[in-house]
Amino acid sequence: MSDPVIAKHIESSPDMCGGKPRIAGTGIRVQDIVAWTELGRSPDDIASGYPHITLADVYAALAYYHDHCQEIDRQMQEDEEFVAQFRAEYRGRQSGGGDADERSVPS
């Protein structure tokens, strides 16, 4: 991260959140902040709902998103596809589609 203000608030590491960018010192991913704003939550509402993050953290996450929107949008799409695949497989198991041990894990 080249912007020192953003770097103060946003970090990523392979051992946390799958390496996805997140608010520093937390497990709140940039994509979580984006999703909440898309659902109509304001930055003030998000910050007040999570006392361990600041309003500056929320705005830094949004700034990071706007600088990396293609990457974050791709990650969000991949997550949605994974959840859809998992749900489909889970429903198949619930309807008697075979033992879980016989099914392959999604890649």
Structure confidence by residue, pLDDT tens digits, 56-88 = 999 999 999 999 999 999 999 998 898 888 888
Q: Is residue 82 part of a domain?
A: yes
**Of residues 95 and 104, more confidently modeled:** 95
Q: Is residue 103 part of a domain?
A: no
Q: Is residue 73 part of a domain?
A: yes
- Residue ranges making up the domain that contains 10: 4-93
User: What pTM did the predictor assign?
Assistant: 0.76
What is the DSSP secondary structure assignment for residue 23, as one 8-state letter? E
Amino acid identity at 97: G
Percent of the residues in the chain that have a pLDDT greater than 70, as a whole number: 87
Residues in contact with 46: Cβ distance below 8 Å, sequence separation at least 6, in sequence order: 33, 36, 37, 53, 58
Cα–Cα nearest to 9, from 36, 35, 33: 33
At residue 86, the pLDDT reads 87
Q: Is residue 106 part of a domain?
A: no
DSSP-based three-state secondary structure for 43: helix
Q: Is residue 98 part of a domain?
A: no
At residue 98, the pLDDT reads 53
Domains of the chain: total: 1
At residue 8, the pLDDT reads 93
CATH number, position 73? 1.10.10.10
Q: Is residue 102 part of a domain?
A: no
- Angle between helix axes 55-67 and 30-38 (nearest 10 degrees) is 90
At residue 95, the pLDDT reads 75
Query: Does position 49 have pLDDT exceeding 90, yes or no?
Result: yes
